[in-house]
Every structure is written in C-alpha cells, then in structure tokens.
C-alpha cells in the first residue's frame, strides 16, 4: 500500500504564534538569556510564551514548564490576553505529546478567556485548533462545528486570506470524512481567494488537497495534474520539506496508473524525495519512501530492487515503535516474494503483518490478510486452507461493507445536523429582525388599512384575476413536478427513484448474480493531447449516447461514466435470467457501432477511438449514494474483476471471465485465452468472444 508522508501542522489561523513549529536554537538561546533578568511583568509573560514556541518540538517538557509559569504570572497580573496565548500554546504542546484530551481542555480555557475579552481573531483560532484535535479523534461532528464557527467569525471580520484558509481546513476535513463533493466545493472556494491574492504557498497546499480528493476517487490522471501544480509551486517557494512530500504524492499517482512508463517516472520522483529526506534525517519519512520504491519496482517486475528498498524500510522501522508502518512494509515484502513464487516465505511475512493488523485492529489489513492467505495456500496446493480463508475474506468483506455503509450514513448525518444548526441560526437572526421591525410594521399597517379601504370596491375583480393566476401557477407547478420526476428517473432506475420519492432514502440491495460491463478507450490520454477539450468532449458525448441507446435496447442499467470509461450492468434492478447473454449482445453492438462511427471520423480528422470491453458475472451490492446529487452505484469484487478484465483485454475485443463464459458459451463462440494475471487478482481465466464486430 502506498504511503503519504506527513508534514508539519499548518497553523492556518494561529494567533500570536509562529506559523511553523520549528525550533531556532539561536533565538531560543537569546530568549533564555533575557528571561534570566526579566522582571515579573506582562512582558515576561510574552517572553515565556515566545520561548516555549521556539523549543516546543525539541524540548517539549521544558516548553510546557515555561508555559505553566507564564499562566501563573498572567493570572497574578490579571493579564488575560497573555494567559490565553499561553493556554493556546500549551494545547499545541499537548498535541505534540499526543495528549489530545489535555489539548482540548487547554484550548477551551484559551477560548473562554478570548470570548471574555472579545478577541475575535483569537476566538476563530481556538475553534480552528479544536477542530484539528476533534478531527484526529474521529469526532467529525464536533470538528465540523468548530471549523464552521471559525469560518463564520473570520467572515464577519472580512479577512479574505483567513476566510480562504478556513475553507481549506473544511475541505481537508471533508476529504478525511470521504465526503468528496463537499471537500471539492470548500477547497475550490479557498482556491479562488488564494489565486486572487496570489498566495502561492497556500495555493500549493490547495492543489495538494485537490490531488488527494482525485486520488481517493481513483482519478489518477487528474490527481497527477494537481500534484504536479503543487510540486511546481513548492519548487518556486524553495520549501524542501514540502517538495519531498509533493514528489512522494506525485510518485504515488504515477505508480497507480497501471503503466510501466509511469512507474519508472514514479521511481524517479521517489528517489528525488529520498535525497531530500536524507538531508533532514527524517527516519520515518525515509521508511515511507523506501516502501513506496519497493512497490514501484514490484510493478516493474524488478523484484531484486524491490526487496533492496523494502529491506531498508524494515531496517529503519524494526527499532521504532510504529506497528502500522511495519505492517505496511511486511505486506509489501510478502507481495514481492509471492511474485517470485517463494510461497513459504510469502506466507511467513503475511503471518507477520496479519498479527500486527489483529493487534492494532486494522480492519483493512485484516481483510487483506485473509485474501493473501487464500491466494498463497492455493498456490501451495493447500486447497482446504485456501477455501477457509477465502470464505473468511468474503464474510469479513461484506461485514465491512455494511459497517462502511453505516459510517457513510453517520457522516451524512453529521452534515445534516450541521445544516440544521445553520438553519436555526438563520431563523434566530430572522426572528430578531422581525422583532426590530414590528413597531414600524404597526404604523405601516395603519396606513395600509386606509389604502385597503379605498381598494375594497375593486376586490371582486382582483380576486377573479388572482384565481386565474393561481390556476396558471398550479399548471406550471405540475409541469415542474413532472419534469423533476423525469429527471430523477433519468438519473436512477425507475423502481429506485420511486422508493427514493416515497421514503426519502433507498435501502441497499444485494444481487446474487448480475453481469457487469466495463469499457475504456485505448491510448485515450495520448489522443486527448492532440485535440481541444471541446472536440474531445463532443466525441465522447456522441460515443456515450450511442452506448446509452444500446444499453436501453437490451434492458441493461447504465451505472456511470468515469472519464473515458463506461460502466453498465445486466440483471438489476430487476433480476433477469438472460442478463449475461443480454450484456454480451450489447457489448457486440457497442464494438460494431463504434467502428462504424469511427469510419466517419477518419474522413473528417476527428479523434479515432478503439475500445476494450471486459465482462464479469457475480454478486454485487447496489444502492444510492449522495445527499444532494444522487447516484445509483454498485459495489463488490464483481465490479473490480470486470474492471481488471477490461484492462487485460485488447482493443476491438470483448474479454469475459469464467463465470460469464459458463452463462453464454452455448450462445456465442468463445476462445480460451488461458489463466492470465490481473492486478490484485492473481490469475483469472479469460475468454474472447469470437463474433465478427
């Protein structure tokens, strides 16, 4: 698994403290000398706080002692501003010591004082710091409340840069929560201000967050683009620590693009980051890059180089108390050794990382270990053990899927509660405004009564006209309702749309047998470089409209498009006995119709697309995701396998799995391709449909 490298805390809204928590020994020594003779006054309080900031990273306990002295002195002098600054700094110190409960206590003490003296900017800072800690603790609702309040205050103050930073903090929180549309919205709001103010440092961090969002959404090409923008800015700014982090992010995106040339570029990125980390003597960062290099060389089938770097990561991590990082490296080593067909050694490393996963309760790696055990035991011919672990893997995966769905609903509930609070605040403001205008309303009412008395004679005529207008509006409302219903059924299956309208939610459904089709255009990235975005989108739209008509013809369900990829499925939401045959027929028509369309493009110098299609039959879970923009989607290993079949296919061909072949071979002539490797799937039996296309 690829590792992101952590960087220093962004004190984006910090008040009365340095922006970065880096110790400067010269300044610290100077402050220490001044403190020897400084009298016990408010200036000494400020000196104690400044001295603590300078040594917080290197001498945390000493910094905490300095801050406690500052607090005692500030209380004796009745110096609330200095006391608040000291409590805030003590909260940061507690965060560094991983005493998060104490950090919350100290931040709240600072918040109480700053509220009392009405230090608006300080209040915003405290809410931001509390939001950071609550996010680390996984209390997303409290984190969201704190960060919303911080944003509200800086908006009142009209400080555009701090407003942008507050939006960026919210975007980062939403990205952590997996709420990517909301993360994108908040981060882009920050980006607009940073670009207007030419704040290049903050803009670089904004591009990094946008890259993370795209990376988590499997949009590796887009992630690469944003990571490159961020890296270019970091290089202009000359910030070596961020350059190393940016190189690592870009390397991760490149190595996940299923292309050996991209993996070679990733290796170059990692090696550059490695040199920077060596200068900083960042052992943890070095181990992360060594691990990523090992995975990249595995993708290049250079197992010796992969093991060289993974051994270096292991050498660093074994003396350190970082079980999660050690688990990641053991997993990577096991994958490399398995690729070398050294199954007993691979089994040993799988046992090591599985034991750590069980110890720290890492559900993702527990599930992964079951799958790896099944794969290794099968390769060793120990079929009973392979079967048992595969069974455990499937059971655990669906259990985690249910838990993930529950967490997703919890995150959406957090958003709902936050929106409700915002509405309550607005209602309170409106009530206050209404109270202020009530007196004026009484006077205006008396005047209106006189005017109404003059207009009574025309009442019947006005009523008749209003009735006609009301009838016309009712007709318009009905038309809009019908239009909304039509739009909803265009987005969701009819049965699903009806359930959503009736219950305001859709219950996820498991289908034991559906057939999933993935299509993708060969060399799309290179083609995209040769044409304008307008031309490219127009051609994709024409192709996808063609596919939509074919999917409708055979009674399939379009799921989504991702870039140049098209995904549909047969056998849902209404089960069908012939879904595999119908899906293959649709695939044949898609290849035929696309080739006819491309003949026209040759003559007009338009983009020429060649398409791969992969099809797999198996169980899926289907449901609706999204709180504002609904999307019908499907999940499960069947979806992943169909995607791998498309990647392992050939342009102009239809590549199907064993389960699909079992359902369609009496209807279509097929040729067996053999058991071929697929990423993260081991070897899969594959067949080409032998039908003229």
Q: CA-CA distances (angstroms) from residue 202 to 207, 226, 356?
A: 9, 14, 38
**Within a domain: 388:** no
Specify the DSSP element, H or E, that contains 562. strand 557-562
User: What's the CATH code of the domain at 680?
Assistant: 3.30.70.1230
Q: With left for phi above 0 and alpha for psi between -120 and 50, is residue 255 left, alpha or beta?
A: alpha
Q: Mark which of 91, 117, 143 sits at the end of a domain.
A: 117
Lowest mean pLDDT among 424-428, 552-556, 613-617: 424-428
Which pLDDT band holds residue 447 (cuts at 50, 70, 90)? very low
If you average pLDDT over residues 103-110, what whole number do you get?
95
- Answer with the residue of higher pLDDT: 635 or 91: 91
Q: Mark which of 70, 96, 117 sits at the end of a domain.
A: 117
Which pLDDT band holds residue 555 (cuts at 50, 70, 90)? very high
**Within a domain: 627:** yes
Name which of 235, 250, 165, 225 is nearest 199 in CA terms.
165
The answer to whether 323 and 357 are in contact (CB under 8 A) is no
Q: pLDDT at position 10, please?
A: 39
Angle ∠(328,329,332) on CA atoms, nearest 5? 90
**Within a domain: 102:** yes
Q: pLDDT at position 537, please?
A: 85
**Within a domain: 669:** yes
The residue count of the chain comes to 693
Q: Which domain holds residue 63?
A: 1-117
Q: pLDDT at position 179, please?
A: 83
Return the residue matching tokens 């110098």. Answer: 605
Q: Does pLDDT of 456 surpass 80?
A: no
Question: Token digits for 578?
Answer: 């012939």
Name which of 13, 75, 88 is nearest 45 in CA terms.
75
Name which of 110, 113, 75 is nearest 94 in CA terms.
110
**Within a domain: 487:** no
474: helix, strand or coil: helix
Q: How many domains does the chain have?
A: 2
User: What's the CATH code of the domain at 107?
Assistant: 1.25.40.10
Separation between Cα atoms, residue 272 and residue 246, nearest integer Å: 11
Q: Does pLDDT of 24 surpass 70?
A: no
Q: Does pLDDT of 479 surpass 90?
A: no
Name which of 617, 174, 636, 627 is nearest 402 in CA terms.
636
- 482-501 per-position pLDDT tens digit: 554 444 445 555 655 555 55
The predicted model scores a pTM of 0.55
Q: Mark which of 117, 145, 167 sits at the end of a domain.
A: 117
**Within a domain: 563:** yes
Among 65-79, 391-405, 604-618, the range with the most confident prediction by mean pLDDT is 65-79
The answer to whether 21 and 89 are in contact (CB under 8 A) is no
**Within a domain: 223:** no
Q: pLDDT at position 519, please?
A: 94
The answer to whether 2 and 292 are in contact (CB under 8 A) is yes
Burial of 198 (0-12, 13-18, 19+ CB in 10 A): exposed
Burial of 38 (0-12, 13-18, 19+ CB in 10 A): middle
**Within a domain: 663:** yes
Separation between Cα atoms, residue 270 and residue 275, nearest integer Å: 9
If you average pLDDT over residues 328-336, what whole number do you get?
91
If you average pLDDT over residues 502-523, what whole number do you get?
82
Which segments of 623-688 does DSSP mark as H helices, in order? 637-647, 658-664
- 410-421 per-position pLDDT tens digit: 444 454 454 455
Name which of 325, 321, 324 is nearest 286 in CA terms.
325
Name which of 552, 613, 615 is nearest 580 in CA terms.
615
Angle, helices 579-603/533-553, rounded to nearest 10 degrees:
150
Lowest mean pLDDT among 14-18, 214-218, 671-675: 14-18
């Amino acid at each position: 698994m690829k590792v992101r490298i952590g960087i220093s805390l962004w004190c984006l809204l910090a008040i009365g403290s340095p922006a970065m928590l880096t110790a400067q020994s010269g300044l610290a020594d100077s402050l220490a000398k001044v403190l020897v003779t400084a009298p016990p006054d408010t200036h000494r309080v400020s000196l104690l706080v400044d001295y603590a900031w300078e040594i917080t990273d290197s001498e945390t306990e000493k910094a905490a002692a300095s801050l406690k002295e500052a607090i005692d002195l500030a209380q004796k002098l009745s110096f609330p501003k200095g006391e608040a600054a000291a409590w805030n700094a003590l909260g940061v110190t507690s965060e560094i010591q991983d005493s998060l409960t104490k950090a919350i206590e100290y931040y709240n003490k600072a918040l109480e004082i700053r509220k009392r003296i009405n230090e608006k900017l300080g209040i915003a800072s405290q809410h931001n710091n509390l939001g950071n800690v609550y996010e680390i603790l996984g209390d997303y609702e409290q984190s969201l409340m704190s960060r919303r309040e911080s944003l509200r205050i800086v908006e009142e103050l009209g400080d555009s840069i701090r407003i942008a930073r507050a939006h960026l903090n919210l975007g980062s929180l939403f990205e952590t929560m997996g709420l990517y549309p909301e993360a994108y919205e908040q981060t882009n709001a920050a980006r607009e201000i940073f670009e207007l103010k030419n704040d290049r440092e903050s803009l670089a961090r904004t591009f990094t967050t946008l890259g993370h969002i795209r990376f988590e959404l499997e949009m590796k090409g887009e992630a690469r683009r944003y990571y490159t923008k961020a890296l270019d800015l970091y290089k202009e700014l000359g910030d070596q620590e961020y350059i190393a982090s940016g190189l690592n992010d870009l390397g991760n995106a490149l190595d996940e693009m299923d292309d050996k040339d991209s993996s070679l570029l990733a290796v170059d990125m990692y090696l550059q980051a490695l040199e920077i980390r060596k200068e900083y003597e960042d052992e943890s960062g070095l181990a992360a890059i060594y691990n990523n290099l090992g995975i990249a060389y595995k993708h290049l089938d250079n197992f010796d180089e992969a093991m060289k770097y993974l051994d270096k990561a292991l050498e660093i991590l074994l003396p350190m108390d970082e079980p999660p990082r050690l688990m990641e490296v053991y997993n990577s080593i096991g994958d490399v050794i398995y690729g070398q067909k050294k199954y007993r050694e691979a089994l040993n490393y799988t046992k090591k990382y599985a034991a750590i996963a069980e110890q720290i309760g890492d559900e993702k790696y527990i599930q992964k270990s079951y799958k790896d055990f099944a794969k290794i035991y099968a390769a060793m011919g120990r079929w009973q053990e392979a079967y048992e672990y595969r069974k455990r893997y499937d059971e655990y995966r669906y259990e985690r899927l249910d838990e993930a769905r529950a967490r997703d609903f919890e995150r959406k509930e957090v958003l709902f509660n936050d929106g409700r609070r915002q509405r309550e605040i607005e209602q309170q403001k409106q009530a206050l405004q209404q109270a202020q205008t009530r007196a004026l309303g009484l006077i205006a009412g008396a005047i209106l009564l006189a005017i109404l008395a003059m207009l009574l004679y025309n009442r019947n005529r006005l009523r008749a006209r209003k009735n006609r207008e009301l009838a016309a509006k009712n007709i318009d409302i009905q038309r809009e309702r019908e239009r909304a219903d039509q739009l909803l059924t265009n987005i969701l299956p009819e049965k699903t749309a009806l359930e959503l309208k009736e219950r305001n939610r859709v219950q996820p459904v498991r289908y034991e047998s559906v057939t999933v089709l993935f299509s993708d255009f060969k060399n799309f990235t290179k083609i995209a470089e040769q044409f304008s975005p307008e031309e490219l989108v127009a051609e994709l739209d024409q192709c996808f409209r063609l596919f939509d008509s074919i999917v409708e013809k055979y009674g399939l369900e379009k799921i989504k498009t991702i870039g140049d990829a098209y995904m549909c499925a047969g056998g849902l939401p209404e089960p069908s006995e012939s879904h595999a045959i119908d899906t293959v027929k649709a695939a044949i028509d898609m290849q035929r119709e696309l080739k006819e369309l491309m003949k026209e493009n040759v003559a007009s110098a338009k983009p020429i697309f060649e398409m791969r299609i992969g099809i797999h039959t198996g169980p899926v879970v289907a449901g609706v995701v999204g709180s504002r923009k609904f999307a019908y989607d499907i999940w499960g290993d069947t979806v992943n396998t169909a995607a791998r079949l498309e990647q392992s296919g050939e342009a102009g061909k239809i590549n199907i799995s064993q389960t699909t072949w079992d359902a369609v071979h009496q209807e279509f002539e097929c040729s067996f391709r053999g058991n071929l490797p697929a990423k993260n799937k081991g070897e899969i039996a594959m067949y080409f449909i032998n039908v003229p296309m």
